[in-house]
Amino acid sequence: MSSKPHQIIGNSTALKATLAKAKKVAKTVLPVLITGESGTGKELFAQFIHDQSRRAQKPFVAVNCAAIPAELLEAELFGYKKGAFSGATSDKDGLFVQASTGTLFLDEIGDMPLPLQAKILRVLQEGEVRPVGAKAVQKVDVRILSATHRDLAEMAEERKFREDLIFRLKGYAIQLPALRERGHDIVKLARAFLKSREDFTGTGLSRDAQTLLMAYHWPGNVRELQNIILAAAVDARRNIFAEHLVGHLPDTVGVEDPNKSVKERITSALQQAGSLALVDLQSRLKIPKPTIHRHLSRMVAEGDVSRSVVSGQTIFALAAPDSEDEMPQLTQRQEQAVALTRALGRITRQELATELGISIRTASRELSALVTMGALGPDGQSGRMAGYRCLF
């Protein structure tokens, strides 16, 4: 996969669900609030929404509210009149005007000073701005996208962010998944970063490097992955091996941490043992059976873990990292079925058939396929009332 600017790489279930939402909301003029940990691609998604919108040919203006000193931010956003303050030697349009007819992306909105929040609220309500030092207001037609890694609701409780502004910004909310929740996308992204750089296009990723990348928890998400992979590529002659990564990853990698997520613990156990039966995994990790089963099903559905039956016993192993194309792929209809199940909490054959306009027989077949893939599980009811739940 190439990495042209703005291309969003990855086909994990988590990323695809988020992309589908972004595509849908792009066609509207609703303001969108994008949240997610640092480095998860919030700006990339904002650009994507703009590119997919009817405003694609119009300006996309991005401003990082945390990077501009509070006292300059107002002039930057609203513009100013000549003489409004020392240094204002001529009139200047602000970013709202520059983005007019297009999209304004307010990055790190959680860092916006409170007094300015009130002014932003007014623009969103009235659709007009008043440049610093101006008497008259100016009409603007701007679609607002914003992003933050902060918890705005918590900030509102602490009176650090205006609740009414949250409602205005959040016409629609998109939460980006952390990189550690995107399974095999980690390897795809690493490859794409290497490919995108002329200096490293021939560099490959060894299996042990892929396994290490998959086991790490990526607190800095995609940005951290990009930095580490390119730094490791400098040390590698041709292929990147785990040893090249270790020098650039924090010391904590590979050290057993009691706070490690269940997924990470399963990954390291399978990494050490090669393959394990469910009972063996359970006795090693001392995690309750339903919990481990739920995580394994999800890892199987996302293509991180393979499941096979040997002499009547179900055996799990880490999926071969370079068999990207053999990962179980959901069809569009199966994706819809999963989304519906998630939205409704549970679904029956009859409900799925009605919702998707398909026969009950087809609905049954799709549900069975999803159960086999580990995406859905029976909810315990039987007969015509038998329903299915989402396992992740």
Contact positions vs ligand ATP (CB under 6 A): 3, 8-10, 36, 38-44, 107, 147, 149, 189, 222-223, 226
Distance, in Å, from the CA atom of 345 to the CA atom of 173, rounded to the nearest integer, reads 20
The H or E element that residue 85 is part of is none
The H or E element that residue 148 is part of is strand 143-148
Q: How far is the CB of 69 from ligand ATP (least distance, A)?
A: 18
Alpha carbon distances (Å) from 100 to 76, 119, 124, 135: 14, 17, 13, 20
Which residue in 354, 353, 349 sits closest to 388, CA to CA? 349
Q: 75 or 222, CB closer to ligand ATP?
A: 222
User: Which 8-state DSSP code applies to residue 324?
Assistant: G
Q: 233 or 376, CB closer to ligand ATP?
A: 233
Distance, in Å, from the CA atom of 174 to the CA atom of 145, rounded to the nearest integer, reads 11
The amino acid present at 280, given as its one-letter code, is: D
Structure-token match 């969103």, residue found: 124
Q: 166 or 347, CB closer to ligand ATP?
A: 166
Q: How far is the CB of 257 from ligand ATP (least distance, A)?
A: 24
Q: 1 or 88, CB closer to ligand ATP?
A: 1
Rounded to 5 degrees, what are φ and ψ at 47?
-60, -40
Distance, in Å, from the CA atom of 124 to the CA atom of 144, rounded to the nearest integer, reads 8
Q: 92 or 188, CB closer to ligand ATP?
A: 188
Distance, in Å, from the CA atom of 14 to the CA atom of 118, rounded to the nearest integer, reads 35
Q: How far is the CB of 382 from ligand ATP (least distance, A)?
A: 42
Q: By the 8 A CB rule, do 78 and 132 touch?
A: yes
Q: 179 or 305, CB closer to ligand ATP?
A: 179
Distance, in Å, from the CA atom of 38 to the CA atom of 85, rounded to the nearest integer, reads 35
Q: How far is the CB of 217 from ligand ATP (least distance, A)?
A: 17
Q: How far is the CB of 380 from ligand ATP (least distance, A)?
A: 37
Q: 62 or 386, CB closer to ligand ATP?
A: 62
Strand partners of residue 7: none
Q: 155 or 360, CB closer to ligand ATP?
A: 155
Give the number of other Cβ atoms within 10 Å of residue 224's Cβ: 18
Of all residues in the shown chain, the one whose CB is closest to ligand ATP is: 41
Residues in contact with 75: Cβ distance below 8 Å, sequence separation at least 6, in sequence order: 84, 85, 88, 92, 94, 132
Q: How far is the CB of 189 from ligand ATP (least distance, A)?
A: 6
Residues belonging to the chain: 392
Q: How far is the CB of 226 from ligand ATP (least distance, A)?
A: 6
Distance, in Å, from the CA atom of 324 to the CA atom of 304, rounded to the nearest integer, reads 10
Q: By the 8 A CB rule, do 34 and 149 touch?
A: no
Q: How far is the CB of 15 from ligand ATP (least distance, A)?
A: 7
Residues in contact with 357: Cβ distance below 8 Å, sequence separation at least 6, in sequence order: none
* Encoded tokens for 181: 């929740």
Q: How far is the CB of 65 from ligand ATP (least distance, A)?
A: 11
Q: How far is the CB of 307 from ligand ATP (least distance, A)?
A: 27
Q: 143 or 265, CB closer to ligand ATP?
A: 143
